[in-house]
Amino acid sequence: MIELPTDLPADLAPLSWLLGVWEGTGVIDYEVDGHHFNGEFSHRVSFSDDGSGALNYSATARLLEGDVPLSLVSEVGFWRLSRPAQDSDPGPGLLPARAGGAVRTADDVEGLRTPEGGFEIQASIVHADGLSELYLGQIRGPRIDIATDAVVRPPGAKPYAAATRLYGLVDGHLLWAWDIAALDHELGSHASARLAKVE
């Protein structure tokens, strides 16, 4: 059973089912130029609230082959509802809010609901190797569909052009799938996992 906190900022309420630490295993299945990458990996994902109006995100994955698990990915980021910045929001940088404002309410958030019944969201994710992704998409209840709007690669990085991710809460588990367009190939299935919440 998933318990949802009641003391979150209103803007985080639609994302609240993600909060906590999730662990489990997944599979890689990706083919490039006749080479089939496959295997099982362990995966740990964490979502937390620090009062900033966004969920903090971190994830690691390690290949479960051989005597020593091989690190596959380490990434951090922020997930939030998409909405226009207001004078009552701080930033950019260290700039404080230009105007005081009332705390955002559930009615304010409800005004962001899309015609499809969900909310537009954005996720900024940075990988340990310097790759950065900006995902845009929708959250509808316990399902999230996001796709890259921008990918920034540091000099010398392997080709990586786009990605989509799907997250869903099914029978108390976080199910996750990641499709990528990498190594000069079109978008295709890459990895998926099933994670359980760590108590």
At 109-161, the pLDDT tens digits run 999 999 999 999 999 999 999 999 999 999 999 999 999 999 999 999 999 99
C-alpha span between 131 and 72 (Å, rounded): 14
Dump pLDDT digits (tens) for 48-102: 998 888 999 999 999 988 777 789 999 999 999 999 988 888 889 999 888 876 7
pTM for the structure as a whole: 0.92
C-alpha span between 185 and 17 (Å, rounded): 34
Peptide bond into 9 cis (omega under 30): no
Query: Token pair of 30, please?
Result: 């990706």
Whole-number pLDDT of residue 180: 96
Whole-number pLDDT of residue 6: 62
Which residues is 75 bridged to in the sheet? 59, 127
Domain ranges of the chain: 10-83+103-197
Whole-number pLDDT of residue 1: 47
Q: How confident is the model at residue 5 (pLDDT cuts 50, 70, 90)?
A: low
Whole-number pLDDT of residue 52: 84
Q: Which fold has domain 10-83+103-197?
A: Lipocalin (2.40.128)
- Taking residues 26-50, what's their average pLDDT? 91
CB under 8 Å to 180, separation ≥6 — which residues?
30, 160, 162, 163, 187, 188, 190
CA angle 131, 189, 17 (to 5 degrees): 75
Closest alpha carbon to 188 in 19, 7, 33: 33
Q: Is the pLDDT of residue 39 over 60?
A: yes
| Backbone CA torsion sign across 163, 16, 96, 75 | negative
How many residues are there in the chain? Answer: 199
